[in-house]
Amino acid sequence: MAPKNPRPLDAIDRLILQVLMARGRIPNSTLAQTVSVAESTAHNRVHALIDSGVIRGVHADVDLAAVGRPLEALIQIQIQPSARAQLRTEAERLAHCPGVIEVYFLAGSRDLLVRVAMANSAGLRDFVLNELNQHAAVATTETSTVLEHFRGAHPLIAPT
């Protein structure tokens, strides 16, 4: 998804983004010191990045097991050819289902990827049966349980 008001990013913007991606709750004073700018500059830059849509939000990385949802799964979904026009509607429906963390549109043999967190295998089974397999728009599903995951450690923001 493209930013709502795209603007060129300079080296300071890119450095701010790198720092915020690693530590989203960093105090503004620490951010300013880290990227070697005045606190007012850091503050204004962050707000400009938010206003332009480059920063879409700051989110907590929650331990799913600690909130009673230790079973994480990725479910690939293929939509019926006759239901292709309903792809966005189906993705939005799934995004509002309990336990759904994210829904991705895919290119390739599958149309959607749904990331879910469930309390147990019975909850996962019920989700697949009731929210996916019983819907006429869904042709096939393939579920993979997540054993462990790691966040990328390399910066995504290339310096200019």
Domain spans in the chain, listed from the N-terminal domain onward: 11-51, 64-145
| Structure confidence at residue 2 as a pLDDT band (50, 70, 90) | low
* Residue 75: closest CA among 152, 8, 142: 142
Residue 61 has a pLDDT of: 85
Question: Which letter, b or e, does each residue of 18-43 get, where b requires 16 or more Cβ atoms within 10 Å of its Cβ?
Answer: bbbeeeeebeeeebbebbebeeeebe
Average pLDDT over residues 7-28: 91
pLDDT per residue as tens digits for the range 21-47: 888 899 999 999 999 999 999 999 999
Q: How far is CA 28 from CA 16, 22, 40, in A?
A: 10, 14, 9
- Cβ contacts of 72 within 8 Å, gap of 6 or more: 64, 101, 115, 116, 117, 118, 145, 146, 149
**Second-level CATH architecture of 11-51:** Orthogonal Bundle (1.10)
At the second CATH level, the architecture of 64-145 is: 2-Layer Sandwich (3.30)
More confident site: 48 or 60: 48
pTM for the structure as a whole: 0.82
Q: For residue 80, name the pLDDT band (cuts at 50, 70, 90).
A: very high
pLDDT tens-digit profile of 96-155? Answer: 999 999 999 999 999 999 999 999 999 999 999 999 999 999 999 999 999 998 888 766
Distance from C-alpha of 92 to C-alpha of 58, rounded to nearest angstrom: 21
